[in-house]
Chains A and B, each alone.
Chain A
Amino acid sequence: MRPCDGSPSRRGRAPVTAPALSARDVTVTAADGRLLLRLDRLDVAPGAALGVRGPSGAGKSTLLNALAGLLRPATGAIRWGGTDVAALGEAARDAFRRRFMGLIFQDFLLFEELSPLDNAAVGAAFAPRAERAAIRARAAALLDRLGVAAGARDVSRMSGGERQRIAVARALSGGPRVILADEPTASLDRANADLLIADLLALAREGGGTVIAVSHDPAVTMAMDRIVSVVDGVARDGDHAGAAVVAAPVAERARA
């Protein structure tokens, strides 16, 4: 995980400081004006692990997409460190995601035509030349640690657990400060799901990265430091409904 210095953003370059999340008065609407999500206030400290739960169609993925800068809110601010991704242009949001975020999806979304290593290191293809070798080396190391053969095996014939571990390696190979996971265990059996979450949290904590995971699976959300519920498009803190949410890193909690 790369260090953060908290300097203000410039063209999507991060704060490079620990990107504490501070979202205020966020609404996301559909093209027809229908409200998809309302988030009054959400604060997540650097290095925290936040679970997002809620029924299907409630807006969990919309929340995650908004936090990732894939959706632009109609109102409000989503600040990662000093950078309000809601105010950035599309190119700057792309750059911000590339430099500071790792995304994991429910159904793996691997490139079937690429090897596990090429999948895990796919970010090198559009990273600055100077970073490419490091991304590839990190991807290889991650695959090794996650127990996936990096060679040219056909990823489409791999098990769901292996495929999702490749996706985890891909999310982490760029050295992100934030990992956003959308139903990361939905396609896995219990054993693989538990293993994956354990690996993900361990890797994230080693680098002090923030994890935000959307999941129906109580085992996943319970493994997080905190939970936010999304019901009918309204995101609320699991313990303090409607109040400000501040999630502290595990280490700080332990000290407290």
Chain B
Amino acid sequence: MPEALNELWFALPVRGRDLAVLLAWLAPAALAGALILRGHRAGPLVAALLWRFRWSNLLFSGLIAVSVGLGVALVAQERALRQGTAKAADKFDVILAAPGDQIRMLLAAVYLQPTDAPLLRGDVLARLQADPQVDLAAPIAFGDSFDGAPVVGSTAQFVEHLSGPLAAGRLFAREDEAVAGALASVDVGDSFTPVHGHGPAASAGETHDGVTIRVVGRMAPTGSPWDRAIVVPVENVWTVHGLANGHAPSAGDRLGPPFDPDYFPGTPAFLVRADEIWKNYAIQARYDGEGVMAFFPGSVLGRLLALLGDMREMMSLMAVATQALVAAGVLAGLVALTRLFSRRFALLRALGAPRRFVFAVVWSYAAALIGAGCAMGLAFGWIAAQVVSRIVTARTDVLVAPALGFAEAHLVAAFFSLATLLALLPAFGAYRRGVVEDLRAAA
């Protein structure tokens, strides 16, 4: 039987399973509500109490909203960051670089973080150009910048691969032309002179005097740091650094592959890709070895995120703990509030209301506060995630676009169910109070 259930479970579409989990989380609250409210019409009285004490209630619900919102924002933000970084690395199938730190090269080649890296030489280029499985082998030569934006040398094929159709202009056709990223500070038609160095090193770097590059095209947005970059022909990078331009003198003004290994000055990294996934695996396996480090950026990113996953777990735990503390605080407040209401409840009992009705009023009151807090928490969490994402996107250029999904719905549903079950406590407290004593107490 369990196996059959297991099969049934996995036969469901993912959304179906998510929905089932959501319903399962809500089930305890729904069941409790159905049992508690059965046969009574507590709604109008509860609504009137909620309205009469609306400011206190708003405070209670607001506290719940903040704690729920923090949890929602954390989950949504973390997922969006994961998706954004993964999407940014999506176009980078296999990276070849000199042996070293994969994470450092991942950050340099994919996320354009400033770094110094040893160069791959012509022998690697020769192997790549002769490899029938390789469909694209683009050098990625970083190290220059303009106005804070990285100026990266590569090929027109790489630009096409990264951007797809350009948003404006055309691909570069000469060494002194460039294609700007979607968010780069230069426009089509602008000219600029690159500076040696990128990031903190740029301020101390020297301007490549006498070099003027004209922007002739703009890439479509990629949701990655490449949106801020300016891509120039790799030949330009070599030339402005006084190196051979990758082609034999007899090649004239040739731009792009094939390059001549004998005139190949070297590049920190190659982006290599094949049209079929299995070939990418074969390429990675074949090239990773002596003198070359070949890796899948997606795989390295996965390991990095897994490492950060522990941090996420800890933060999630802290969020849950915060929610639990707030829920406990709110419940303590509810206990105090039910004491303030004790004369009302005693009056109901004196008028013949069964204990269960008073129980239903208290529980409904608490459930309404918790439900309102959860709903506001979802909204608050979404807003907080949007704000944080915009900051992260502005700082990293990795497009982080959070959206509310089932993960957040599960979190809120779980909190709602647990809190409404905890709300049984103040309801029991009101249930057990003496009628005559409470009628007299405040008289």
A contacts, CB < 8 Å to B? 65, 68, 70-71, 90-91, 94-99, 101, 103, 105-107, 109, 111-114, 118, 122-126, 128-129, 132, 170, 174
Contacts and interface: CB of A to CB of B under 8 A. Distances in A.
A125 B45 contact: yes
B355 A103 contact: no
B352 A125 contact: no
A125 B350 contact: no
A167 B47 CA distance: 21
A94 B349 contact: yes
Nearest to A110: B347
A101 B353 CA distance: 12
Contacts of A111: 45, 48, 344, 347
B429 interface: no
Contacts of B350: 68, 70, 97, 103, 105
Given A65-B436, A125-B40, A125-B41, A101 B48 contact: no
A113 B51 contact: yes
11 contacts: A70-B350, A70-B439, A97-B351, A98-B351, A105-B350, A106-B443, A111-B347, A114-B44, A123-B353, A125-B353, A126-B353
B348 interface: yes
B interface, how many residues as a size bin? 20 to 34
B42 interface: yes
With a 10 A CB-CB cut-off, give which of A65, A99, A106 has the most chain B CB atoms: A65
A118 B49 CA distance: 13
Given A70-B436, A113-B52, A132 B41 contact: yes
B188 interface: no
Interface of B: 39-42, 44-45, 48-49, 51-52, 343-344, 347-355, 357, 435-436, 439, 443
A111 B42 CA distance: 14
B440 to A, nearest CB: 8
A118 B355 CA distance: 20
A98 B347 CA distance: 12
Given A111-B48, A111-B344, A98 B352 contact: yes
Contacts of A107: 443
Nearest to A12: B352
Given A71-B436, A126-B40, A109 B352 contact: no
Given A71-B436, A113-B49, A125-B41, A98 B443 contact: no
A126 B343 CA distance: 17
Contact of B41 (A94, A101, A112, A124): A124
B45 A94 contact: no
Contacts of B48: 111, 113-114, 118
Nearest to B435: A70
A111 B357 CA distance: 16
Given A71-B436, A112-B52, A118-B44, A126 B354 contact: yes
A25 B248 CA distance: 123
Contact of A126 (B51, B344, B348): B348
A101 B349 CA distance: 12
Contacts of B351: 97-98, 103, 122-123, 170
B42 A125 contact: yes
A2 to B, nearest CB: 14
Nearest to B49: A113
B439 A94 contact: no
Contacts of A91: 354-355
B353 A98 contact: yes
A71 B439 CA distance: 12
Contacts of B52: 112-113
Contact of A95 (B42, B45, B352, B439): B352
A107 B40 CA distance: 27
Given A111-B344, A114-B45, A125-B42, A94 B355 contact: yes
A109 B343 CA distance: 8
A210 B170 CA distance: 99
B417 to A, nearest CB: 26
Nearest to A106: B443
A126 B358 CA distance: 9
Q: List 7 A-B pairs, minimum CB-CB distance, nearest first.
A: A98-B352, A113-B52, A97-B352, A113-B48, A126-B357, A126-B353, A125-B41
A123 B48 CA distance: 15
A170 B40 CA distance: 18
B58 to A, nearest CB: 16
Contacts of B353: 94, 98, 123, 125-126
B347 A125 contact: no
B354 A122 contact: no
A126 B44 CA distance: 12
Contacts of B49: 113
A68 B350 CA distance: 8
Contacts of B44: 114, 118, 125
Given A70-B350, A113-B49, A125-B44, 20 more contacts: A70-B435, A70-B439, A91-B355, A94-B354, A95-B354, A97-B352, A98-B353, A111-B48, A111-B344, A111-B347, A122-B351, A124-B41, A125-B41, A125-B42, A125-B45, A126-B352, A126-B353, A128-B39, A132-B41, A170-B351
